Each structure stands twice: as C-alpha cells, then as structure tokens.
C-alpha cells in the first residue's frame, strides 16, 4: 500500500498486541503508533533493563498496557472485549529454544494454551458481532521440523520435534483449525530468525555476538558453527505483519499461512565472522559445539507471500546488520 493509503487504513484502528516487549512487538507497536493506531499491549513481566527499549509503554498516549498472561483466559477475553479490538497480533510466546528444552511444560502453556485462549476469546466475541477483523499469529520456520527437502514451502507438513518447535507446530495448527472451523479472519506467519534494534535477548547469536565484540570479548557459538539459517531484519518482519492484516481485513486469505524471510542463507560461523568483520576486530569465535535439539538447516520459500500478498524483503543481511550494530552501541552499551 502507498504510505497515505496505509496511514488511512490504520488511523484510529484498535489493535491488540501480545508479546509487546519482544523485538517484533516493540518495533510493530512503534510503527502502529506512527500510523496513528490505538494500541493495547499485553505485558507479563516488566524487566527493568527493557526501559532501554524506549518509553512508549508508559508515555505514549495511544498505548494502553494490560498486565497479564496468555494463560489467563479471562484477562485475554476481557481485554479484547473492553477495548473493542479490531486487529490482533499474537506475538507473545516463550521463544527461546534452550528454555523450551529446559522447561517444556511452561513453554507449552505459554505457546499452546496461550494461543487457544486467544482464539477462543475471538470466537466467543465474534459470535456476537464481527468486531475482530484480523488475527495475525506468529508461528515459526521451526514449526516445520527437520526436512531433507528445502526450502520449506507452506504445503509441507508441520512436525516440530523438540519442545519449542512442537509448540509452534501446535500454535500453527490451532490457528488454521479456528479459521477453518469458525470462519475467523486468521492468518499465520512463519518467519526465520528475526534480528534488529530492540532485541535484548543475548542468548541469540546476533545480539550475543554484538555484545561480546562491544565488550572486547570473543563471541561464543554454542553449536559447531554449521547450522544454516536465514536472518530476517525486524523492519521487514513488521512490514510483513502489516501487509497480512491489511489482506485479512479485505476478507482475503483466511486461514492461510505465509513464509516470510530474507532469502539469504548463511551458516552460523560465517554470520559471526561477518559481524566481526563489520566491527573491524581481529578475533575469532569460541566454538563450544554443545547445542542440542536444534535442526541443522532451515530456510524458507517466500514465493507464496510474493504472489498473493505482493510482499518482498527490503533489507539485505549486510544492511540490516549495519543498522543494528549502532543501536546496541548507542542505546545499550553506552
């Protein structure tokens, strides 16, 4: 959509975002505020260091903060009803693979129960009136599980093998189920590894590497460095979510899942060396080779999104990293 058409579409639209303090939630909310939407953000924990991410949670007039958990059905239903929500972005989840391995039940509760709570609340409320016009659900490339055929396409089966992966397979299938069975305006986004300004989870390879280099330490790679991934700049992810909701409100693509990614494949060792090169430092990473329950190679076809949504990524990996590194220097490690 052209800039003015997009502004007209989102102006004063009532939007509910779960996972509002995550990297995608933060950047999406900031963009929605720029588009003059009225945003309600669900926040579970208020981590003091997340104040770095900006003052929008407390100070921006058009953001209302609801403190609660996805596992609390009454909280979710009350929020959607009382704020007369029109568009929902369900981004909230336990997103860290290693935490999923250590604590599978809490991951399942947040990711699976949290999803059916939200979808059931929408079903209940839309049975009275079609107030919610679009629900965009965050799945993951990991929902596909291991495949010897790559890239993943949307018609491949979902067969997550490990706790986080399985939780995303379930999230995805529940969303498609509610869309098909109850004709709800739900779309599913399957994205690769998202990075960019706003990510304070230093267990992830890009922010963890940047943090180490700023602190003049050797970056650490938990795997053997061979896993191949796509790294997806957060501004492209935000644009994909906006396009998806716009499509759903036009009553298109109900129940459809879309892959969104950068189209650039790189292994972990080469990624870390690329970041080292951008810093201009003379160092090498520490390779621990101790990660478990991770798929070796994952990358996505974005042909469907290109054809049905007219969407394509705008940021290369090099450009995204060039925009990301200064953010950590200026906002986090000052």
Contact, 258 vs 244, CB < 8 A?
yes
Q: Which residues contact 138 (CB under 8 A, 6 or more apart)?
A: 19, 24, 89, 90, 91, 93, 171, 189, 191
Q: State the DSSP H helix or E strand holding residue 67, giving kind and residue range, or none if neither.
A: strand 63-67
Q: How far is 308 from 101, CA to CA, in rounded Å?
A: 36
CA distance 69 to 264: 35
| Helical spans, DSSP H, in the chain | 3-10, 23-34, 56-59, 73-82, 97-102, 104-108, 114-126, 163-182, 205-214, 234-249, 268-279, 303-309, 317-327
164 has catalytic annotation: yes
- Find the angle CA(186)-CA(68)-CA(124) to the nearest 5 degrees: 40
What sign for the dihedral angle of Cα 99, 101, 107, 112?
Answer: positive
Residue of 89, 144, 152, 164 marked active site: 164
Residues carrying an active site annotation? 164
């Amino acid at each position: 959509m052209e800039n003015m058409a997009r502004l007209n579409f989102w102006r004063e639209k009532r939007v509910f975002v779960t996972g509002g303090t995550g990297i995608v939630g933060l950047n999406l909310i900031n963009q929605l505020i720029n588009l003059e939407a009225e945003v309600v953000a669900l926040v579970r924990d208020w981590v003091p260091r997340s104040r770095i991410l900006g003052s929008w949670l407390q100070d921006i007039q058009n953001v209302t903060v609801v403190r609660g958990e996805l596992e609390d059905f009454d909280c979710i239903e009350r929020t959607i009803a009382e704020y007369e929500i029109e568009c929902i972005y369900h981004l909230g989840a336990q997103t860290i693979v290693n935490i999923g391995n250590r604590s599978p039940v809490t991951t399942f509760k947040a990711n699976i129960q949290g999803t059916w709570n939200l979808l059931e609340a929408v079903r209940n409320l839309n049975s009275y009136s079609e107030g919610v016009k679009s629900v965009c659900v965050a799945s993951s490339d990991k929902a596909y599980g291991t495949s010897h055929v790559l890239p993943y396409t949307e018609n491949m089966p979902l067969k997550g093998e490990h706790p986080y992966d399985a939780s995303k397979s379930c999230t995805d299938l529940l969303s498609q189920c509610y869309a098909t069975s109850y004709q709800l305006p739900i779309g599913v986004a399957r994205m690769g590894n998202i990075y960019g300004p706003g990510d304070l989870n230093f267990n992830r390879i890009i922010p963890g590497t940047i943090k180490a280099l700023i602190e003049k330490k050797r970056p650490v790679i938990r795997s053997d460095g061979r896993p191949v991934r796509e790294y997806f700049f957060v501004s492209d992810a935000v644009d994909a979510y906006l396009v998806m909701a716009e499509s759903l409100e036009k009553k298109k693509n109900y129940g459809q899942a879309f892959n969104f990614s950068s189209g650039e494949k790189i292994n972990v060792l080469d990624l870390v060396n690329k970041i080292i090169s951008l810093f201009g430092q003379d160092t090498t990473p520490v390779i621990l080779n101790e990660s478990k329950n991770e798929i070796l190679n994952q990358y996505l076809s974005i042909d469907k999104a290109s054809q049905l949504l007219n969407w394509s990524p705008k940021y290369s990996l090099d450009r995204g990293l060039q925009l990301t590194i200064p953010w950590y220097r200026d906002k986090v490690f000052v």
